[in-house]
């Protein structure tokens, strides 16, 4: 479970999630705030790099489309 690729992917997606969290808090964007929390949780709880990456990419797409709709 603690391979180099898993640790690197976890660091990457967790950092992006933290960026979403900080952005959502400062801009008062609920979708970015929740997306950041979910991305950090996915980086922590997922079992493989592929699953983690797919979940985080889906969350990023969801935050993007919710932001485009005005939420």
Nearest to 37 by CA among 45, 54, 6: 45
pLDDT of residue 67: 87
Per the document, the length of the chain is 71
pLDDT of residue 1: 60
Q: What φ, ψ does residue 46 adopt, rounded to 5°?
A: -75, 155
- pLDDT averaged over the chain? 91
Has residue 3 got a pLDDT over 90?
no
pTM assigned to the model: 0.87
In tens, the pLDDT along 16-36 reads 999 999 999 999 999 999 999
3-state secondary structure 45-60: HCCCHHHHHHHHHHHH
């Amino acid at each position: 479970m603690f391979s180099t690729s898993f640790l690197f992917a976890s660091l990457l997606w967790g950092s992006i999630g933290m960026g979403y969290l900080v952005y959502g808090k400062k801009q008062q964007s609920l979708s970015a705030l929740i997306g950041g929390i979910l991305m950090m949780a996915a980086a922590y709880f997922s079992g493989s790099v592929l699953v983690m990456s797919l979940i985080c990419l889906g969350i990023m797409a969801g935050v993007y489309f919710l932001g485009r709709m005005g939420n």
